[in-house]
Structure 1
Amino acid sequence: MLGSTAQAGWYESVSQIQNQCNNSSSTRTHQKKNKHYDLPTDDWKQTCKLLPNYMNLSHHEFERLLCKTIQMDHYQIQQCLASTETLQLSQQLAIFMCTFFQLKIEEDYWHYVANLNMPIVTWLSEVSKDVREKNSINWDYSKTKLNIQYQQNLIQNKLQRIEINLYNYLQRYSSSLKMNDNKMSFERWMNIICNALVVLIQTDLHHFNTNFEQKKILFTYDINGVHLVKSFYDLNPIEEQVYSTQQIWRSKLKACQEAITQQKRRWPMSDQVMVKATILGNRSITNMKQYEFDIDANNEKNQLSSMKCFSPSMRAIIQARLDHIKQRAQQIKKIIHASSQE
């Protein structure tokens, strides 16, 4: 039977890797880095590319990877992986643990989404696609109240299944596995291997975890942006006011998207950008970035000043949304810059 020490080691590892994933600045050790930058999305085909695949490694490759990653007594690790049986168990344990912690990251994300201004989500579900598009609303179709609950339940069920499967797997091996010359108990072996795998998986899930943290940030911006659009419509604008406002917001969004596109093109050349920053000084670089976003500032002022038929409250909301579009674009540029430094 699986001892209490082994069980405690497993559950301690759960808490440990969750904290370490959030604080890690490590890079993956056996995955190719993307040659281009993609903004985080809920497209699973793209997101899953950030996951390590221990299943496709040979036992020898996995052993080499684990020993290379772990900054501890390599002799001790090699002892734990001395037989084909213990090596196979370690690799399968890595697959279980990686999937478990991957699901914990997803669970945290959907919990965050579910707790952010659900009335706004409800309003979005009620308005037409045409309203969302004409008001330049950044919104993923999956963020409906029903689908958020579905995702949470789906992840919960997966977590329960993997915990049961892992427990049964360890139970089976704990009674049949023969340790090296009986010098090491199964519980001791589990403790060493779990600690080693925590370090490995923490490193390999860094980009996956970062992707979900970035999605949280952008989702918060999107929620706030939708709130401003809803606030404008709550004032019952006439058709002319709606059309003029949409034009102003669309113009600002287009200018910001162009600035983001320029940043994407530059990010692989971060070394050249740093040299340029050194030559020109931080103030000059700041002024250049500001210019990118405010290139349409005069046009924006002219549009606002010509809106005589708008009430002060409407004008305030319109200006707040313009500021919000700019702030969201600046946040995206920060994300792109951070990615270029890794």
Structure 2
Amino acid sequence: MSGSNAQAGWYEPVSQIQNQDNNSSRIRTHQKMNKYYDLPTDDWKLTCKLLPNYKTLSSHDFKRLLCKTIQTDHYQIQQWLANTEMLQFSQQLAVLMCTSFQLKIEEEYWYYIGNLNMPVVTWLSEVSKDVIEKNSINWDHSKIKLNIRYQQNLIRNKLQRLEINLYNYLQRYSSNLKMNDDKMSFEQWMNIICNALVVLMQNDLHHFNTNFEQKKILFTYDINDANRVKPFYDLNPIEKQVYSTQQIWRSKLRACEKVISQQNKRWSRSNQVIVKGIIPGNHSIINMKQNEFDNYGNDQENRLLSMKCFSPSMRAIIQARLDNIEQRAQQIIKFIHASSQ
């Protein structure tokens, strides 16, 4: 990840968040857990729900949250945080750090998207929305190169301003805050607090970070999907071939959506069972079986094999997209299973 740490050298890069011990307890007093798995989306109103909001926490709740995270010097930390000014300082620091880590996660995502070799993006930008809709292509026009560069510059500028604000904030308070213990300097106290905040960010940004990691994976499938549709149209299919192919692809998509919906419901029921204290055995209701895909949409695929209007090259392209659609659905189900662990 990019982004300079020079001025605010006390905090670690976001990779440290991702590499912390996954077994550490997750504090969720200020976040709601979903009953259903939420498919990764670029809708910011939905994505931002995964962010912790330290501003809305009472001072008492934030103090309790932070003290639970600190591994050493509990008594001293509690004494220092009894000072209202130091507690407010720590809470505002948490807000700034969280925003910094959030932006770094977004920055990595947009640079990943921008660095992919995507010649098909030009085609997607030129064809009508009607073609994208009728062929059930999962494509967001925010992924055009111009907007990708805009997002990269926007996030980079936000990070630069935030790091300056962080540096100034620390400089201002380092000379004003008074320590209750003459044996420990402000820098030593800051090191303890910041280490605790890094662990806190690891826990509280886990779902946000996972959301962006999953979006990167699904975006690759979406690019592969478009790379199957474009060659089909390059073969100049007649109207009958276009209509039949769209029906075949749409049937496969509906089949996969049904399987995903079933898995989501199973995960939800399993999650409720676990909450009630009953842990499913090896026959877990969230176990996925390949025949769930096979039970749906086979009629359309069999139609493909029997239709004489398709050339061998067309059939190969159509089948390749069918495979990609199923692989994407299987990947989403893996996400659902991972979220149930």
With normalisation by structure 1, the TM-score equals 0.88
**1:21 to partner: Cα distance:** 2.5
C-alpha contact 1:80 1:86 (8 A) present in aligned 2 = yes
> Which residue is 2:18 aligned to?
21
Question: Counterpart in 2 of 1:130?
Answer: 130
Instruction: Return the alpha-carbon distance in structure 1 between the equivalents of residues 187 and 229 of structure 2.
Output: 58
Query: In structure 2, what residue type is equivalent to 1:18?
Result: S
What residue number does 1:3 align with? Answer: none
Provide the residue aligned with 1:107 in structure 2: 107
Describe the SS at the equivalent of 1:29. Answer: coil
Structure 1 stretch displaced more, 171-180 or 105-114: 171-180
Q: Percentage identity across aligned positions?
A: 72
Structure 2 distance, partners of 1:181, 1:13, is 23
Number of equivalenced pairs: 329
**Does 2:74 align with 1:74?**
yes
- Contact 2:70/2:192 (8 A) holds in 1: no
Seen in structure 2, the aligned counterparts of structure 1 residues 298 and 164 have a Cα distance that, compared at 3 Å, is closer
Task: Please show how residues 1-342 of structure 1 align to structure 2 within 5 Å.
Answer: 10-11=8-9, 13-15=11-13, 17-21=14-18, 25=22, 27-30=26-29, 31-270=31-270, 275=280, 277-278=282-283, 289-296=289-296, 298-341=298-341
TM-score, length-normalised on structure 2? 0.89
Deviation at 1:77, TM superposition (A): 2.5
Structure 2: how far apart are the matches of 1:113 and 1:98? 23
Paired with 1:136 and 1:297, the residues of 2 have a C-alpha distance of 15
**Gapped runs of 5+ residues in structure 1?**
1-6
Moved more, 185-194 or 197-206: 185-194
> Any stretches of 5+ residues in structure 2 without a counterpart?
none
Alignment RMSD (CA, Å): 2.4
Checking the alignment, whether the CA contact within 8 Å between 2:253 and 2:325 is kept in structure 1 is: yes
Distance in 2 between residues matched to 1:276 and 1:294, nearest whole Å: 26
Give distance in 2, aligned partners of 1:275 and 1:181: 51
Structure 1 counterpart SS, 2:41: coil
- What CA deviation, in whole Å up to 9, does each residue of 1:234-264 have, x standing for no partner? 2222222222211111111111111111112
Per-residue deviation at 1:310? 2.1
| 1:273-298 per-position Cα deviation (integer Å, ceiling 9, x unaligned) | 98475389x9xx65xx2222112454
Give distance in 1, aligned partners of 2:57 and 2:315. 59
Which amino acid is the alignment partner of residue 19 of structure 1?
Answer: Q
Higher relative contact order (CA 8 A, sep 6+): 1
Amino acid paired to 2:9: Y
Q: Is the CA contact 2:259–2:293 (under 8 Å) kept in the aligned structure 1?
A: yes
The more displaced of 45-54 and 67-76 is: 67-76
1:112 maps to amino acid? Y
Structure 1 range deviating more: 141-150 or 17-26: 17-26
8 Å CA contact 2:27–2:65 kept in 1: the answer is no
